[in-house]
A and B are shown apart, each in its own frame.
Chain A
Amino acid sequence: MDILPILSTLRRHKITAWLLILEIALTCAIVCNAVFLISQRLERMDLPSGVAEHELVQIQLANIGNRPDDTARAEADLATLRQIPGVQQVAMTNQLPFSSGGSWNSGVKLDPQQQQDTLTVAQYMGQNLLPTLGTQLLAGRDFRPDEFVNYADAVAALQGGDLKGLPQTLVITKALADRLWPGQSALGKQLYMGKGIPFRVIGVVAHLARPNMLEKGVDYNTVWPIRLSLTEGASYVIRCAPQDREQVLKAALAKLKELDPRRVVLQKRTWDEARHEFFQNDRAMAGILVGVCVALLIVTALGIVGLASFWVAQRRRTIGVRRALGATRNNILHYFQTENFLLATIGIALGMVLAYGINLFLMSHYELPRLPGIYFPVGAVLLWLIGQIAVFGPALRAAAVPPVVATRSV
């Protein structure tokens, strides 16, 4: 295909050609970045939680205030819940992965003398937590019953400076183990909290995501052998078969009400609902961005159709002359297709530069990573395709111009 005559024609329509190029460039830049944003959101929504996702039910009751018997009451509640048909495991926990609201966190240090914390980790606590959550233990072991300390006793021990009264051990995630001791086994290692209080790692789990503040590292987390009661705002977590969840939740609420009809239920949901709610913003944003991308591509395609039709109409006579001089219909068709391909190529090249610029802006304002290289060829192919589809109609009309037009004066 001869490109020179196309270039010389385009030189005579500089403004229109540049408009089309700029439109393609802008579309390319914005679609590349929008698709990247969508992929980021989807990735976030797809983060592993480390728990048995479809098997968990959470019930949170209102804090009833400090009572001497609150630990005993919690144990009684747990025993009752365990007897409900279909219930496999019951635990108490201070928090669950991917849920909004507050979260329990602490700084950890590798060295007791260290001034700054190495990382901020979420602290999961509660009796029978790991078996209930279904967290996969990779190395080491779960807590023994004698390692558990009541929350109130641990706090009192911390105040009194009595390190014996504190829990001595903890379980950490693999991500945290790899971050703190790369290439080594974490088992038996010490990490430090607060004013250099040591804790020994006895187990490593595959994954356990944070409740929120995901920017601190989704999977940098710890589990503690601490027994909770309702005073600390803890929730009951029940594990059961996925199809039993609704019915177990109903039965559990009925049982808890039976034990004390005056209690206020703050939260009753399956963990799937909690996760769905936690990521609803990301889902909505991804949906909006998909809509924008589709609309942008349609608008750009319509713009190409409009301009190409105009060009065809303007050049009817020239086309007629070319046809009269022996050009075939296919020649004319290819002429317009090549022209569009040329314009799209320049537009895409410009668009890539612009896409990179927008990405730099987003990186500084929204803490996004760099745009992966794969977006450039994929974006280019997409816009070439759209250009070719859009120009096909007008090009066919051009090819249909009969040679006899050349002989007419208009």
Chain B
Amino acid sequence: MFGYYLDLALRSLKRNKVLTALMVLAIAVGIGASMTTLTVMHLLSGDPLPTRSGTLFFPQVDPNPYPDGPSLPYDMMDYRSAMDLWSAHRADRQALIAHGQLKLIAPQVNLPPLMAQVLSTTSEFFPMFEVPFRYGHGWSAQDDASRARVAVISSDLNNKLFNGADSVGRTLRLKNSDVRIVGVLGAWRPSPQFYDVAGGRFDDGQTGDFYGRPEDVFLPLNSSSDINPVGFNFFTCWSMPQSDATLQTSPCVWMTLWVELDSAAKVRSYRQFVADYAAQQKSVGRFARADNTQLRSLMGWLDFNHVVPSDVRLQMWVAFAFLLICLFNTVGLLLAKFLRRSGEIGVRRALGASRAAIMAQCLFEAGLIGLLGGIGGLLLTLLGLWLVRRQPVAYADLVHLDAAMFLATFALAVATSLLAGLLPAIRASRMAPGLQLKMT
């Protein structure tokens, strides 16, 4: 039966090449556009840490001493709150994070000094986020405490400075201090770069920069504040900082804390811990509001920040509307094609083919068109993704077609064409055999 339907379908497709080509082209263009945008959406809205994301949480408190501050807690924390929560060690693992830039020189490497993006953090950052190492390893809790001058560098920086060679043990000069490299990261490109996400709700949908590359240098937080006490980026301040204030004592928020909590019970108790901390801080007069705390999960935090750029969403809607029009187009053309063959169908019915058989044959033909359209769509998707990669966006180098999306292309193409073929096939199968024979 399969061979027979295939033969009939091929004959039918060959009979009117222009009409066939039009249908295949319509499906291919619709699929190409939809799959390009869907692939980008899939890459940007995915889970950056699938094995772990369920156990990672982002606590927030509101350190504002004035009760008329913003209604939601700030996206980052002040030094004291972050340190208090961190040093309580109430989570399975935890990492403090602050950002900054430092002037970097690699001795014995003939390159001009550069401003390196520095991530200052604590030792559990690496195991907690499952960061892969090419050479060496992260630093220890002991290094955190002893303010050791050690650093982990990204593979990009390692390639740039040392041509990808094992640089563990070598020295970098950051501002005026020497640090020893203890680890070089492997290929690590979380999408988005979740641990840096903050302030997304103020970005008006322009959140493409959350998909950037990891920082160049990772330093123990204490060492980093020894090297340059003012070298951190702050998120915002609730009042004007003293001109001689260090960030540690300033009324500014500039640090984040990530915690790993392995069970629902631990999440509940940590939530309570953060609330208790805020209440206690209110009682000593440091916080104005004790009830303004949050403990968001990693994915919840990404959603809250609307990490997927609004343009990417809009493009996806436009592409699917486009596919819908291609679908209508294909329905019309298939209807034309099947009804034109009413004579042939009438003969088959008169010779004993059931309605179901006619319908199956028509759908088979529609599916074949879908498959051809899928091949065209795949080529157009590859072209579309190539175009996306050439765009000046931070996620350009992330864009590729993975196996799931490859299969989805064909599934979507065949599903679209079967959907388009359904109505024409029903109409074709309802033709009365006698009438068609008489007319012919």
Which A residues have a C-beta under 8 Å from some C-beta of B? 15-16, 19-20, 22-23, 26-27, 30, 34, 37, 62, 65-66, 115, 152, 155-156, 158-159, 194, 213-215, 262, 264, 266, 277, 280-281, 284-285, 288-289, 292, 295-296, 299-300, 302-303, 305-307, 309-310, 313-314, 366, 410
Contact = CB atoms under 8 A, between A and B. Distances in A.
Judged by DSSP, the binding face of A is helix
Given A16-B332, A65-B230, A264-B115, A366 B325 contact: no
Nearest to B21: A302
Interface stretch (B3-11, B260-268, B313-321, B410-418): B313-321
A280 to B, nearest CB: 5
Contacts of B333: 303, 306-307, 310
A234 B348 CA distance: 82
A254 to B, nearest CB: 14
Given A23-B329, A155-B243, A300-B329, A62 B115 contact: yes
A367 B433 CA distance: 57
Contacts of B68: 115
B352 interface: no
B200 interface: no
A284 B314 CA distance: 13
B326 interface: yes
29 contacts: A15-B335, A15-B427, A22-B328, A23-B329, A26-B321, A30-B325, A62-B101, A65-B228, A65-B230, A66-B230, A155-B243, A156-B243, A159-B242, A159-B243, A214-B204, A264-B115, A281-B206, A284-B391, A285-B311, A285-B315, A288-B318, A295-B29, A295-B322, A299-B329, A302-B22, A302-B329, A306-B22, A310-B335, A314-B340
A410 B242 contact: no
Contacts of B335: 15-16, 19, 310
Interface string B241-269: 11100000000000000000000000000
Contacts of B339: 310, 314
Contacts of A284: 391-392
Given A23-B325, A307-B332, 15 more contacts: A15-B427, A30-B318, A34-B318, A65-B231, A152-B243, A280-B392, A292-B33, A295-B29, A295-B322, A296-B325, A303-B328, A305-B22, A306-B332, A366-B310, A410-B440
A26 B318 contact: no
B208 to A, nearest CB: 7
A37 to B, nearest CB: 8
Contacts of A155: 240-241, 243
A264 B113 contact: yes
B113 A299 contact: no
Interface of B: 19, 22, 25-26, 29-30, 33, 68, 101, 103, 113-115, 202, 204-206, 208, 228, 230-231, 240-243, 310-311, 314-315, 318-319, 321-322, 324-326, 328-329, 331-333, 335-337, 339-340, 391-393, 423, 427, 440
A304 to B, nearest CB: 9
Query: Which of B101, B231, B321 has its CB near the most chain A CB atoms (within 10 A)?
Result: B321
A299 B325 contact: yes
Query: Which of B101, B103, B324 has its CB near the most chain A CB atoms (within 10 A)?
Result: B103
A104 B138 CA distance: 37
Nearest to A301: B329
Contacts of A289: 318
Contacts, number: 121
Nearest to B233: A102
Contacts of A306: 19, 22, 329, 332-333, 336
Contacts of A15: 335, 423, 427
A-B CB proximity, top 5 nearest? A310-B336, A303-B329, A23-B328, A19-B332, A306-B333
A369 to B, nearest CB: 15
Contacts of A288: 315, 318
Contact of B29 (A22, A281, A299): A299
Contacts of A314: 339-340
A26 B240 CA distance: 54
Contacts of B393: 281
A311 to B, nearest CB: 8
Given A62-B101, A158-B240, A299-B29, A16 B336 contact: yes
B318 A281 contact: no
A264 B15 CA distance: 70
A19 B325 contact: no
Nearest to B319: A292
B71 to A, nearest CB: 12
A391 to B, nearest CB: 14
Contact of B113 (A262, A285, A305): A262
A19 B113 contact: no
B322 A296 contact: yes
Contacts of A305: 22
Contacts of A19: 328, 331-332, 335
Query: Which of B29, B325, B326, B391 has its CB near the most chain A CB atoms (within 10 A)?
Result: B325
A159 B245 CA distance: 11
A303 B333 CA distance: 7
Contacts of B22: 302, 305-306
A266 B328 contact: no
A26 B332 CA distance: 14
Contacts of A194: 240
A281 B208 contact: yes
Query: Which of A19, A266, A307, A314 has its CB near the most chain B CB atoms (within 10 A)?
Result: A19
A62 B103 contact: yes
A363 B32 CA distance: 28
B26 A299 contact: yes
B330 to A, nearest CB: 8
Nearest to A266: B115
A395 B315 CA distance: 37
A266 B423 CA distance: 62
B103 A264 contact: yes
A19 B337 CA distance: 14
Query: Which of B101, B319, B328, B336 has its CB near the most chain A CB atoms (within 10 A)?
Result: B328
A264 B102 CA distance: 10
Nearest to B113: A264
A99 to B, nearest CB: 13
B237 to A, nearest CB: 12
Contacts of B30: 299
A289 B202 CA distance: 25
Contacts of B318: 30, 34, 288-289, 292
Contacts of B329: 23, 299-300, 302-303, 306
Nearest to A19: B332
Contacts of A410: 440
Contacts of B19: 306, 309
Contact of A30 (B310, B321, B331, B423): B321
B26 A366 contact: no
A23 B332 contact: yes
A351 B286 CA distance: 59
Query: Which of A30, A284, A303 has its CB near the most chain B CB atoms (within 10 A)?
Result: A303
Nearest to A195: B239
Contacts of A159: 240, 242-243
Contacts of B204: 213-215
A288 to B, nearest CB: 6
B436 to A, nearest CB: 13
